[in-house]
A and B are shown apart, each in its own frame.
Chain A
Amino acid sequence: MADDIRIRVRYFASLREQLGSGEEQVVPAGATAADLWAAAMRRAPSLRRTRVRFAVNAEYVDADHRLAEGDELAVFPPMSGG
Chain B
Amino acid sequence: MTIAVRPGPIDAGALLAAVGDPRAGCSVLFLGTTRSTNVGRRVTRLEYEAYERMAVQQMRALAREAKRRWPLRRVAMVHRLGVVPVGEASVGIAVSAGHRAEGFAAAHWLIDRLKEIVPIWKKEHFRGGAVWIGAQQGGPPPRRRTRAAPARVSAARRKRLR
**Which A residues contact B (CB, under 8 angstroms)?**
10, 12-14, 16-17, 49-51, 55, 58-60, 74, 76-82
What number of B residues sit within 8 Å (CB to CB) of A? 30
Q: Which residues in chain B, 115-131, are within 8 Å of chain A measured between CB atoms?
A: 115-123
Contacts of A77 in B (CB 8 A): 121, 132, 134-135
Contacts of B79 in A (CB 8 A): 81
- Measured between beta carbons, the chain B residues less than 8 angstroms from A76 are 51, 119
By a CB distance below 8 angstroms, the chain B residues around A74 are: 51, 54, 119
When chains A and B are docked, how far (Å) is the Cα of A49 from the Cα of B142? 13
Complex formed: what's the CA distance from A10 to B91 in Å? 24
Q: How far is the CB of A36 from chain B (nearest CB, A)?
A: 16
Nearest residue, chain B, Cβ from A60: B117
21 contacts between A and B (CB under 8 A): A12-B119, A13-B121, A13-B134, A14-B132, A55-B51, A59-B54, A78-B139, A79-B116, A79-B117, A79-B118, A79-B121, A80-B139, A80-B140, A81-B48, A81-B91, A81-B118, A81-B119, A82-B32, A82-B91, A82-B120, A82-B140
* Docked complex Cα distance between A12 and B121 (Å): 8
